[in-house]
Amino acid sequence: MKIIGIIAEYNPFHNGHYYHLNKIKEEFNPDAIIIAMSGNFVQRGEPAIFDKWARTYMALKGGADMVVELPVIFSASTAEIFAEGAINLLGEMKIVNYLSFGVEEKKEKELIKIAEILINEPPLFKQELKSNLKKGLSFPSAREAALIELLKDEFPKNDLSILLKKPNFILGIEYCKAILKNGYPIDILPILRKGSSYHELEIKPIPSATAVRRFLKENPNIQNINENQELKNSLPCFTLDIIKNEIELKRGPVFFENFEEIIFATLLKMSREDFNLYFDIKEGLDRRIQNAVKRSKNIYELIDNIKTKRYPETRIRRILTQILLNITEKDINCRKPNYIRILGFSKKGFSLIKEIEKRSSLPIVISAKDINKLKDEQKKKIEKDILASDIYSLARPSKEQRIFGLDYFKKPIII
């Protein structure tokens, strides 16, 4: 069987995502497509604009056959941990043999070569990286400079420099690293992206998800959302219908600032020893956060007062999200999921469940009964996802929708 895995956030699902799924079907004729999708918190260090069930519905309507949840300990972490956790999830299902992802440029040779260097870390690379960090460069910049120096005889310096600044190409490197490191029999199928770049803020026919989220944030009182021309041009009709339903039921949209008070309250209660429990809080950052809390009036001032050249905004958002969800360094240390949480499936996807059960050593979680059957260590991990759903509920626009324990009684999305 040709089973293609995709790692996604679909935050929300737009025309670019729809293009990707259709292109896979057109070029590769797969037997099924499985999505490893972030749950209610995403890799940018913020909540998903709509919850994981709404976004699962979007993915299935868009042509996916199964959606499995990427545990929040990976989805709200660095690109490297996000990628490795997702690859391990797909790999341990034991039926995924291809990975497809969007890239700004189809440079497979460069992808693999860079991934090999980052896994093996030859002495010259380590020497260059150390030297660049001593110069005060941020880790991504230091790594980029070291790679360019190492590969200057194989690839043009300017071309490599441009590639290493492209977000999807960088994520593609992390996927390749995780596949090679763990020895999964998974081949890559990069698809050339179309439309807006990752950070572009203008709504276009193939937009960035950032632009869609910004539009929804700046137009909170929009009427007849599925008749709005800008959104109609950018989102598939089924996405519009799902968004309309979520807004009418006041389940979304949800934004980072909706957690402002709970983040401030949590930080104010923390000691320096508490900060030491969390991944990525080093070099006096704990003291910097404590000082910033006392002189910041809102979440954006807080981030501005904490961030530095080495700790840019997205990194600070991730740290704050991990503190909000109590995701400690100990939680993140193990990069392998120990359960497969299925959020939804099509008829074709349903037929794969028995095959996964037969091949994989991981338990499949679909219902509350499955959660209750998990071993203690597995329960500890899935409880982080359950907590994330409960905390996410606190930010829903309507208090009527602030329902706890949804993971126990919410049925999978089936189409």
**Digit-coded pLDDT (tens) for 313-347:** 999 999 999 999 999 999 998 888 999 999 999 99
For residue 372, pLDDT over 80 is answered with: yes
Q: What is the DSSP letter of 334?
A: -
Pair of tokens at residue 39:
């749950």
Residues 56-65: what's their mean pLDDT?
Answer: 98
pLDDT in tens, 109-137: 999 999 999 999 999 999 999 999 999 88
Q: Which residue is associated with the tokens 């359950």?
A: 386
Report residue 198's pLDDT band, with 50, 70 and 90 as the boundaries.
Answer: low
- 114, 110, 116, 149: which is closest to 132 by C-alpha? 149
Q: 46-49 — which CB contacts under 8 Å span 24+ positions?
A: 46/255, 46/256, 46/317, 46/321, 47/254, 47/255, 47/256, 47/258, 47/259, 47/392, 47/395, 48/9, 48/11, 48/254, 48/392, 49/11, 49/12, 49/213, 49/216, 49/252, 49/253, 49/254, 49/255
For residue 262, pLDDT over 80 is answered with: yes
Residues 83-108: what's their mean pLDDT?
Answer: 96
Residue 123: the pLDDT is: 95
Question: Inter-axis angle of helices 260-269 and 313-324, to 10 degrees?
Answer: 80
**Among positive and negative, which fits the CA dihedral 75, 166, 187, 8?**
positive
Report the percent of the chain where pLDDT is more than 90: 83
What distance separates the 2 farthest-apart alpha carbons in the chain?
62
For residue 23, pLDDT over 70 is answered with: yes
Residue 196: the pLDDT is: 62
Residue 282: the pLDDT is: 85
Residue 355: the pLDDT is: 97
pLDDT in tens, 385-402: 999 999 999 999 999 999
The helix/strand/coil state of 16 is helix
Strands 98-103 and 66-70: unpaired
Buried b (16+ CB within 10 A) or exposed e, 335-358: bebbbbbbbbbbeebeebeeebee
Give the lowest-confidence range in 30-34, 151-155, 364-368. 151-155
Pair of tokens at residue 415:
């189409």
Give the lowest-confidence range in 173-182, 190-199, 219-228. 190-199
pLDDT in tens, 126-175: 999 999 999 988 788 898 999 999 998 888 877 888 888 888 999 999 99
For residue 223, pLDDT over 80 is answered with: no
* Mean of the per-residue pLDDT values of the chain: 94
Q: What is the DSSP letter of 152?
A: T
Strands 66-70 and 32-38: parallel
Report the percent of the chain where pLDDT is more than 70: 99
265/150 Cα distance (integer angstroms):
47
What are the DSSP calls for 244-280, one per residue?
Answer: HHHHHTT-----GGGGHHHHHHHHHH--HHHHTTSTT
Phi and psi based region of residue 217 (left: phi greater than 0; alpha: psi -120 to 50; beta: remaining): alpha
Phi and psi based region of residue 396 (left: phi greater than 0; alpha: psi -120 to 50; beta: remaining): beta
160/164 Cα distance (integer angstroms):
6
For residue 197, pLDDT over 70 is answered with: no
206/187 Cα distance (integer angstroms):
27
Cross-strand partners of 413? 344
Residue 199: the pLDDT is: 66
